[in-house]
Amino acid sequence: MSNSPRQTSQGTLQALHEEARNNEKMERITVRFPEGQIEDVDALIDDNAYPNRSEAIRDSVRQMLDEHRGNLENSAGSRSPSCAD
């Protein structure tokens, strides 16, 4: 069993990749990463956790954005209404 952050089948990952490609226009960007992080991403690919670097990084960005949105929703929902005198 791999230590990947996402335990899904290769078919599921391929479906996610196809869905992302079909639903949104993709834009190519250039990003620089420390060599050790790229080696870690490549290890995930070798463990069949992701089909390629792009999908691994896209998934990480999706998770980060989902977490950020959740934090925003939680902070908005936890505010108590102000009392006007």
pLDDT tens digits for range 57-77 = 999 999 999 999 988 888 887
Rg for the chain, CA atoms, rounded: 18
pLDDT at position 84: 53
pLDDT at position 73: 85
Identify whether 81 is part of a domain. Answer: no
Identify whether 22 is part of a domain. Answer: no
Identify whether 12 is part of a domain. Answer: no
For 79, how many CA atoms within 13 A lie in the half-sphere containing its CB? 8
Q: Is 50 exposed, middle or buried (0-12, 13-18, 19+ CB in 10 A)?
A: buried
Q: Which domain holds residue 56?
A: 32-74
pTM above the 0.75 mark?
Answer: no
Q: What's the structural domain count of the chain?
A: 1
Distance CA 60, CA 5 (A): 10
Identify whether 9 is part of a domain. Answer: no
**Residues of the chain scoring pLDDT < 50:** 1-5, 7
Identify whether 36 is part of a domain. Answer: yes
Identify whether 3 is part of a domain. Answer: no
